[in-house]
Amino acid sequence: MNKFITIFGFAGSLRKDSYNKALLRAAMELAPKEAKLEIFDLEGIPPFNQDLEDRMPEKVKEFKAKIKAADAILIATPEHNYSMPGVLKNAIDWASRPYGNNSFEDKPVAIMSASTSILGGARAQYHLRQVLVSLNMHAINRPEVMVASVDEKVDEKGNLMDEKARKRIGQLLENLIKWTKRLETE
């Protein structure tokens, strides 16, 4: 049976012209017909405060609900000081709480990154992967989508134009869909 797959995507950047948001927009265009990608902006998620776990901010409630409703997750991360940005970690921390109500529990996930440097956010991806283990998510390994020197790969409107990168994003989505279906048969 060809089940329709819903993918929920977000980028670890609040920047209006974020290159990682450009990766998500490209993913939206490249998503196979059997899937739909919804993009969420982390703007408005406050700094994590455990005192608020029993009365979560509205934006966090919305974030958690959308994660739970999705079949699969797609994360685009910048690299800040060799790791994921605080904005991304902060949002993940909220969604993992309160204890026993981790919205990411058991979800398939794919990750990608874009950076103006020559490593394309590789180090941030490996830190993020470690966090995904704590969340009990099931991350796919291939293809690795690490878009280096990304500022040379977008047009004047900030859209990702690089064919190699676009092809890898398309392949990543196909693999994520296959992986999601495999996990759902168990």
Ligand X SMILES: Cc1cc2nc3c(=O)[nH]c(=O)nc-3n(C[C@H](O)[C@H](O)[C@H](O)COP(=O)(O)O)c2cc1C
Minimal distance, residue 91 CB to ligand X, in Å: 14
Q: State yes or no: residue 43 binds ligand X (CB under 6 A).
A: no
Q: What are phi and psi of 132, to 5 degrees?
A: -65, -30
What angle do the packed helices 86-95 and 122-134 form, to 10 degrees? 10
Q: Please, which residue, 80 or 107, has the CB nearer to ligand X?
A: 80
CA distance 12 to 5: 23
Per-residue interface string for the shown chain with ligand X, residues 103-132, x marking contact by CB under 6 A: -----------xxxx-x-x-----------
Query: For residue 131, what is the DSSP state?
Result: H
Minimal distance, residue 165 CB to ligand X, in Å: 14
CA distance 61 to 72: 18
Minimal distance, residue 158 CB to ligand X, in Å: 9
CA distances for 49 relative to 25, 26, 41, 42, 91, angstroms: 31, 34, 20, 16, 11
CA distance 171 to 32: 10
Q: State yes or no: residue 149 binds ligand X (CB under 6 A).
A: no
Minimal distance, residue 79 CB to ligand X, in Å: 4
Q: Judged by CB under 6 A, which stretch of 2-10, 24-32, 37-45, 72-80 contacts ligand X?
A: 72-80
The residue from 18, 96, 102, 103 that contacts ligand X (CB under 6 A) is 18
The residue from 8, 27, 37, 79 that contacts ligand X (CB under 6 A) is 79
Q: Judged by CB under 6 A, which stretch of 74-82, 86-94, 98-106, 137-145 contacts ligand X?
A: 74-82
Query: For residue 83, what is the DSSP state?
Result: B
CB of 53 closer than 8 Å to CB of 95: no
Q: Please, which residue, 121 or 170, has the CB nearer to ligand X?
A: 121
Supply 138's token pair.
């099931």
Q: Please, which residue, 10 or 63, has the CB nearer to ligand X?
A: 10
* 164 Cβ contact list (under 8 Å, min separation 6): none
Using CB under 6 A as the criterion, which residues of the chain lie in contact with ligand X when the complex forms?
Answer: 13, 15, 18-20, 78-82, 114-117, 119, 121
